[in-house]
Amino acid sequence: MDLMHHSSTFLLPTIPLHHGPSLTYALVVLNQTLPRFAPLLWKHAQLRLCADGGANRVFDEMPLLFPEEDASDVRRRYKPDVIKGDMDSIRKEVLDFYRSLGTEIIDKSHDQDTTDLHKCITYIRDFAPDVNKSSQLCILVAGALGGRYDHEMGNLNVLYCFSALRIVLLSDDSLIYLLPRTHHHEIHIQTSVEGPHCGLIPIGVPSRSSTTTGLRWNLNNTEMRFGGLISSSNIVVGEKVTVQSDTDLLWTISIKKL
């Protein structure tokens, strides 16, 4: 089985050069309070997309992260490339503001079958013109957790529906991404910004056998399922965690409050 490497370098102030293929980041902002490190993610991303009410969040909250600066300057600097979705949450003043600055507005108000996140992922995968596709794409998502629980579950499901894409859901407290069963996984822990609390979650299907190294409570051909054992409140020990499993697992790790 092929090896897949993971590293939360997008949480570092500058992304170090390293041996593996470099990643191109896209950022999707959904309609929840921006995490405190949103400007950092914005800086690393080559494409910045707001899903509907996510544009309100960028408009209202980015200036709060730069209280010593003029709000208009901050808004101009943090202008999304695209705003996409139902358009039933975005405020008119926000829409007009970003449109006047050149943001592309894509109105999908006729399509009720998929969530805003789903629409944005599809857009990035299929249409995003300037994202360098020859290097690997990683989609960072802020605002997918919290709020209405059916939304949160729908957003987790998007990770499973697009299991061939690297998609990372981020909140102030945690990050989450899928470890597809088709690969062995090496997770390189950025100890300055993440950990030690972590978990491996078999959402949607029981796992007959998962094996890990690098955790306080490693799995060893261990069964996991909802209603039985799931690996939560685990601890990373050291800087490399490996995972292999017969099913897709969600990896989650805590983000340090610095």
Partner 1 sequence: MIAMDLMHHSSCFLLPTIPLQRRPSLTYALLVLNQNLPRFTPLLWNHAQLHLCADGGANRLYDEMPLFFPQEDASDVRRRNKPDVIKGDMDSIRREVLEFYASLGTEIVDKSHDQDTTDLHKCVTYIRDSASGLDKSNLCVLVVGALGGRFDHEMGNLNVICRFSSMRIVLLSNDSLIHLLPRTYCHEIHIQTSVEGPHCGLIPIGTPSKSSTTTGLQWDLNNTAMEFGGLVSTSNIVKEEKVTVQSDCDLLWTISIKKL
Neighbours of 226 (CB within 10 A): 12
Among 87, 105, 160, 242, binds partner 1 (CB under 8 A): 160
Question: Which residues lie below 8 Å from residue 127, measured CB to CB, with a gap of 6+?
Answer: none
Question: Which residues lie below 8 Å from residue 109, measured CB to CB, with a gap of 6+?
Answer: 86, 87, 88
Question: Which residue, chain included where needed, has tokens 């943090």?
Answer: 78
144 forms part of the interface with partner 1 (CB under 8 A): no
122 forms part of the interface with partner 1 (CB under 8 A): no
Alpha-carbon distance of 181 to 190, in angstroms, equals 23
- CB pairs under 8 A, 24+ apart, for 15-24? 15/44, 21/135, 21/136, 22/135, 22/136, 23/135, 23/136, 23/137, 23/138, 23/166, 24/131, 24/132, 24/133, 24/135, 24/136, 24/137, 24/138
209 forms part of the interface with partner 1 (CB under 8 A): no
141 forms part of the interface with partner 1 (CB under 8 A): no
Q: Which residues pair with 166 in a beta bridge?
A: 138
Q: Which is nearer to partner 1, 9 or 247 (CB)?
A: 247
232 forms part of the interface with partner 1 (CB under 8 A): yes
Among 74, 131, 248, 249, binds partner 1 (CB under 8 A): 248
218 forms part of the interface with partner 1 (CB under 8 A): no
115 forms part of the interface with partner 1 (CB under 8 A): yes
Contact string (CB under 8 A) for partner 1, positions 13-52, x = contact: ----------------------------------------
Among 89, 163, 209, 213, binds partner 1 (CB under 8 A): 163
154 forms part of the interface with partner 1 (CB under 8 A): yes
Strand order, beta sheet including 3-7: 3-7, 184-188, 240-245, 207-213, 222-224
Q: Which is nearer to partner 1, 72 or 232 (CB)?
A: 232
87 forms part of the interface with partner 1 (CB under 8 A): no
Alpha-carbon distance of 136 to 91, in angstroms, equals 34
**Contact criterion met (CB below 8 Å) for 51 and 85:** yes
Among 15, 105, 106, 205, binds partner 1 (CB under 8 A): 205
Q: Which is nearer to partner 1, 95 or 250 (CB)?
A: 250
- Residues that bind partner 1 in the complex, under the rule CB under 8 A: 115, 145-151, 153-154, 156-157, 160-161, 163, 171, 173-174, 176, 197-199, 201-206, 225-228, 230, 232-234, 248, 250, 252, 254
